[in-house]
């Protein structure tokens, strides 16, 4: 079940908004060794190429932590997702607010909140539901509104649309830094200062120009996004039937475990 206080969509919006503000992008396939020549281009040309690359990617892995509003404990998203809406990973709401494991394949979605999530996000009956589930996954159809936050998190197009919507937004100053390395990989950093925020995107200087890391700092907000596994399929495994509990059966039960 989903409570409207759930931070799952908010954690996803952190990553999506970071991508949009940078006009950054990704491409499918593995990392090539050949120099791609982006360090000879202007900052805007590099941003445009990485944005265009995003529009062709079919799947990726996103690992992000932070809160753009600078008020709440840092949320974390660790998710592999694709343009079909399939995904596998987890969302951590930060602090003691709880986390949720998420799997979506085709028309089915599974969610496994931890004890802190049930306690703090569903204060009325949450611990009782956790006891009923006893470590099992909740299962529902992908169009079930009670898990809408989960299914919304799984659609790669949500990231792509934000970038497209922001692609023509030229507010702020975009600068190119000198070629350097990030975890041993050659990159060219781009920095944009906008609305008291400093956004830095490290674009791969070999292979196709996707960003390896994006950071947002300043004015309270702070977020870090790491991107990898470009074009790698979402894991096909789903929770087995004996480890799942139908969400309708769960909600039709008494909250007093038997």
| 87 inside domain | yes
User: pTM of the prediction?
Assistant: 0.80
Residue 106: count other Cβ atoms within 10 Å of its Cβ.
Answer: 11
Task: Find how far residue 196's CA is from the centre of its chain.
Answer: 24
Task: Find how far residue 78's CA is from the centre of its chain.
Answer: 6
The predicted pLDDT at position 17 comes to 40
| 1 inside domain | no
The predicted pLDDT at position 109 comes to 94
| 133 inside domain | yes
- Residues 234, 258: contact at Cβ < 8 Å? no
| 94 inside domain | yes
Burial of residue 101 (CB within 10 Å: 0-12, 13-18, 19+) is middle
CATH number of the domain within which 244 lies: 2.50.20.20
| 223 inside domain | yes
How far, in Å, CA of 60 to CA of 55, rounded?
12
Nearest Cα residue to 56 out of 226, 249, 210: 210
The predicted pLDDT at position 165 comes to 52
How far, in Å, CA of 202 to CA of 179, rounded?
10
Domain count, the chain: 1
| pLDDT tier at 105, thresholds 50, 70, 90 | very high
| 106 inside domain | yes
| pLDDT tier at 55, thresholds 50, 70, 90 | confident
| 166 inside domain | yes
| 3 inside domain | no
Q: Render 26-94 in DSSP notation, one character per residue.
A: --SS----SB--GGGS-HHHHHHHHHHHHTT--EEEEEEEEETTSSSPPEEEEEEEETTS-EEEEEE-S
Beta strands at 180-182 and 185-194: parallel, antiparallel or unpaired: antiparallel
User: Does 25 have pLDDT greater than 50?
Assistant: no
Which residue in the block uniquely carries the two structure tokens 């925020």?
A: 197
Q: What is the pLDDT of residues 181-201, one digit of tens each?
A: 999 999 999 998 877 788 898
User: What domain range includes position 71?
Assistant: 8-252
Average pLDDT over residues 141-151: 84
């Amino acid at each position: 079940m989903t409570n409207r206080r759930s931070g799952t969509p908010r954690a996803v919006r952190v990553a999506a908004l970071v991508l949009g503000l940078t006009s950054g992008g990704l491409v499918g396939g593995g990392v090539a060794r050949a120099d791609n020549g982006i360090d000879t281009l202007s900052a805007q040309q590099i941003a445009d190429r990485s944005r265009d690359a995003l529009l062709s990617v079919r799947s990726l892995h996103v690992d992000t932590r932070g809160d753009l509003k600078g008020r709440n404990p840092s949320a974390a998203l660790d998710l592999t997702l694709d343009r079909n809406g399939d995904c596998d990973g987890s969302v951590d709401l930060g602090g003691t607010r709880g986390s949720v494991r998420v799997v979506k394949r085709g028309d089915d979605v599974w969610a496994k909140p931890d004890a802190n999530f049930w306690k703090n996000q569903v204060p009325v009956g949450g611990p009782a539901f956790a006891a009923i589930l006893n470590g099992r996954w909740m299962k529902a159809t992908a169009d079930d509104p009670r898990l809408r936050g989960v299914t919304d998190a799984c659609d790669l197009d949500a990231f792509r649309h934000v970038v497209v919507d922001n692609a023509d937004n030229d507010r702020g100053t975009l600068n190119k830094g000198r070629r350097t390395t990030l975890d041993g990989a050659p990159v060219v950093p781009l920095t944009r200062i906008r609305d008291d925020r400093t956004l830095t995107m490290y674009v791969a200087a070999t292979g196709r120009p996707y960003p390896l890391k994006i950071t947002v700092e300043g004015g309270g907000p702070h977020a870090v996004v790491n991107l990898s596994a470009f074009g790698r399929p979402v894991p096909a495994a789903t929770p087995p039937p004996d480890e799942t509990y139908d969400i309708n059966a769960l909600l039709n039960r008494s909250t007093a475990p038997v």
